[in-house]
């Protein structure tokens, strides 16, 4: 099996039209072959549960010709997230969209403002979304100009209103060959972000770029320092960017050396200045087969990051690696512990990585077993030591078709994480799955609730997951409906709600009392009951406060709240007397 690439580049998005064929070559979302020249694209600790998958509001109307997907999600607080992706319009033009979730309710997806005018060539998508605070985000991706050239764009969300998209400043001059994209974007504070991707120079060589946003203004993009020397073969890209504070970031990617071999690189930004890119230490010695890439990087604090990807060994097999930066110095990359045993079929990679503190991370990806079947794995780093990678629990049962992968991981705190991806059922139908880690233990993977019903066409996957520190998570991806059209979906995970106070605590038997319910994790309430009777929800103020109108009743009853995370336990603090 050849190198498996992540979906996210332009050609990968367009190739969704032929995904049934592409499935035979590699996991869509964990890595089918993407653009030429080796271009890479781009839980919760509380007891709770995943809500039902739903088609992202607004995409059904926009998606006239059956090609839509959520490619990236980012969450900051309970019920406050943003998503981006692409959708095919009535003129068979691929358009970039964004959508916001507020207090647990998704608003309607909208075409990225201004992208319609930019996208004269009719092919655009959001590849990456990053939010620092609720409704303060940025997104990046690509569009095609009138001449059919690919151009990179960025767009900001300011207080819940997405502004006008703009071509990444400086890429017009760099991108003389007409092939540029933003692959990854990271925002450590409002108005301060970094983006990375690739462009094509006048000679047709593909080069890696970085661009910074400072105090709300995007600065001029630059070729990644040092890659002009490294990238003698003319094929480089930034695949992932991670920032911990404004001007303190790390980026990873790949380049083609003078021998035509692909190598992994890393570059660090300190106090607003990008350093010189270097080959990721140790990967070259592992990479005897000459084909390596760093897929993802995650930084817990300035100078303390982790990276992962794959390399090719001397026998031509793909192996997964991880590397660590401690105190500003990158160590030597190592084969991911445990994969030497798991990966008997010699096709493994780290596809996604998330760190909550220095030395405490989680990674996910795929490997090929001794039968050549693709399996999904997760692995934890605890206090600076990577543990043994394990097959995602229960995917052996789910993955009867032998084709599973983790495409994205995210953590709310150390040992409390979520992973998402896809697997093939016994009928060779691809389904989307999620799996939660709670207090350091990975639970059983399960099909995203209700996604099987949506996925009548048999091709679904989770492309992106994001969790906030409170333990609320969102997964996004795509499925095929009964007409075999690709649709975009989202699904949320919430901790079990709790009611800690009811004000007022009394009211007339006739009902009609305006009651404020105070508690935890009251995100997107599905029902509020006074004993057995259902109350009318008047207003969701926040994740800790909702206002309802009491129903008719008698005696003293428990007030309970039901969300996607379950129903609050009864306690003395939740009682209301008629």
Tell me if 521 sits within 8 A of 494, measured CB to CB. yes
In angstroms, the CA 124 to CA 144 distance is 6
Tell me the sheet residues that pair with 494: 49
CA 346 to chain centre: 26
DSSP symbols for 472-498: -EEEEEEEE-TTS-EEEEEEEEEEPPE
Task: Give the number of other CB atoms < 10 A from CB of residue 341.
Answer: 10
Nearest CA among 86, 39, 157 for reference residue 487: 86
536-542 and 150-158 strand pairing: unpaired
Supply the pLDDT for residue 281: 97
In angstroms, the CA 368 to CA 487 distance is 29
Nearest CA among 396, 393, 493 for reference residue 449: 493
CATH topology of domain 498-577: Immunoglobulin-like (2.60.40)
304-to-91, 213, 243, 316, 414 alpha-carbon distances in Å: 47, 22, 11, 32, 15
In angstroms, the CA 36 to CA 5 distance is 11
Cis peptide bond N-terminal to 36, omega within 30: no
The one-character DSSP state at 535 is P
In angstroms, the CA 65 to CA 394 distance is 36
Domain boundaries in the chain? 498-577
In angstroms, the CA 142 to CA 150 distance is 6
In angstroms, the CA 221 to CA 212 distance is 7
Mean pLDDT by 10 residues, the chain (578 residues): 34 33 32 28 54 92 83 93 94 93 93 96 97 91 96 96 97 97 97 98 98 97 97 98 97 97 97 97 96 97 97 97 96 97 97 96 98 98 97 96 98 96 94 96 96 96 94 95 95 94 97 97 93 96 94 98 92 97
Q: How many angstroms separate the most distant Cα atoms in the chain?
A: 83
Length of the chain: 578
Q: Is the pTM of this model over 0.85?
A: yes
Supply the pLDDT for residue 92: 85
Supply the pLDDT for residue 463: 98
52-to-46, 157, 306, 436, 480 alpha-carbon distances in Å: 18, 27, 33, 16, 16
3-class secondary-structure state, position 61: helix
Letter string b/e over residues 448-466, b meaning 16 or more CB atoms within 10 A of that residue's CB: beebbebbebbbbbbbbbb
405-413 and 430-438 strand pairing: unpaired
């Amino acid at each position: 099996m050849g190198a498996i690439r992540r979906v996210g580049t332009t050609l990968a998005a367009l190739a969704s039209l032929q995904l049934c064929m592409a499935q035979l070559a590699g996991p869509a979302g964990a890595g089918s072959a993407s653009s030429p020249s080796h271009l890479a694209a781009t839980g919760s600790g509380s007891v709770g549960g995943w809500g039902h998958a739903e088609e992202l509001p607004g995409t059904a109307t926009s998606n006239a010709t059956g090609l839509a997907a959520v490619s990236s999600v980012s969450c900051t607080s309970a019920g406050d997230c943003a998503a981006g992706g692409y959708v095919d319009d009535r003129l068979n033009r691929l358009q970039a969209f964004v959508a916001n979730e507020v207090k647990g309710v998704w608003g309607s997806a909208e075409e990225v403002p201004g992208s319609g005018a930019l996208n004269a060539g009719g092919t655009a998508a959001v590849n990456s979304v990053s939010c620092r605070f609720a409704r303060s985000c940025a997104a990046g991706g690509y569009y095609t100009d009138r001449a059919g050239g690919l151009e990179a764009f960025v767009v900001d969300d300011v207080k819940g209103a997405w502004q006008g998209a703009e071509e990444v400043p400086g890429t017009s001059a760099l991108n003389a060959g007409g092939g540029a994209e933003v692959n990854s974007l990271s925002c450590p504070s409002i108005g301060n972000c970094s983006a990375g991707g690739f462009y094509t120079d006048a000679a047709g060589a593909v080069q890696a770029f970085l661009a910074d946003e400072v105090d709300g203004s995007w600065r001029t993009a630059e070729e990644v320092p040092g890659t002009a020397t490294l990238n003698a073969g003319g094929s480089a890209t930034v695949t992932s960017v991670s920032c911990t504070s404004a001007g303190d970031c790390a980026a990873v990617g790949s380049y083609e050396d003078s021998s035509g071999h692909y190598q992994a690189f890393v570059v660090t930004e300190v106090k607003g200045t990008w350093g010189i890119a270097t080959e990721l230490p140790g990967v070259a010695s592992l990479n005897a087969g000459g084909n390596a890439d760093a897929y993802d990087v995650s930084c817990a604090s300035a100078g303390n990051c982790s990276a992962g990807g794959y390399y090719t060994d001397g026998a031509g097999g793909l192996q997964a690696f991880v590397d660590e930066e401690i105190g500003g110095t990158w160590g030597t990359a190592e084969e991911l512990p445990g994969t030497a045993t798991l990966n008997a079929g010699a096709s493994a990679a780290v596809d996604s990585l998330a760190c909550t503190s220095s030395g405490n991370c989680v990674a996910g990806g795929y490997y090929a077993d001794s039968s050549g079947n693709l399996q999904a794995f997760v692995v934890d780093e605890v206090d600076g030591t990577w543990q043994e990678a394990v097959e995602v629990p229960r995917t052996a049962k789910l993955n009867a078709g032998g084709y599973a992968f983790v495409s994205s991981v995210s953590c709310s705190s150390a040992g409390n994480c979520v992973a998402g991806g896809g697997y093939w059922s016994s009928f060779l139908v691809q389904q989307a799955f999620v799996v939660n880690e709670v207090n350091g233990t990975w639970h059983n993977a399960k099909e995203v609730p209700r996604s099987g019903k949506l996925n009548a066409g048999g091709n679904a996957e989770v492309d992106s997951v994001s969790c906030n520190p409170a333990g609320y998570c969102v997964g996004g991806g795509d499925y095929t409906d009964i007409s075999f059209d690709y649709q975009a979906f989202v699904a949320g995970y919430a901790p079990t709600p709790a009611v800690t106070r009811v004000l007022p605590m009394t009211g007339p038997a006739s009902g009609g009392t305006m009651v404020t319910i105070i508690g935890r994790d009251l995100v997107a309430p599905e029902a509020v009951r006074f004993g057995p009777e259902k109350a009318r929800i008047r207003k969701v103020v926040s994740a800790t406060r909702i206002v309802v109108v009491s129903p008719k009743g008698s005696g003293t009853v428990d007030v309970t709240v039901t969300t996607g995370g379950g129903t609050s336990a009864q306690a003395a603090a939740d009682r209301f007397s008629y």
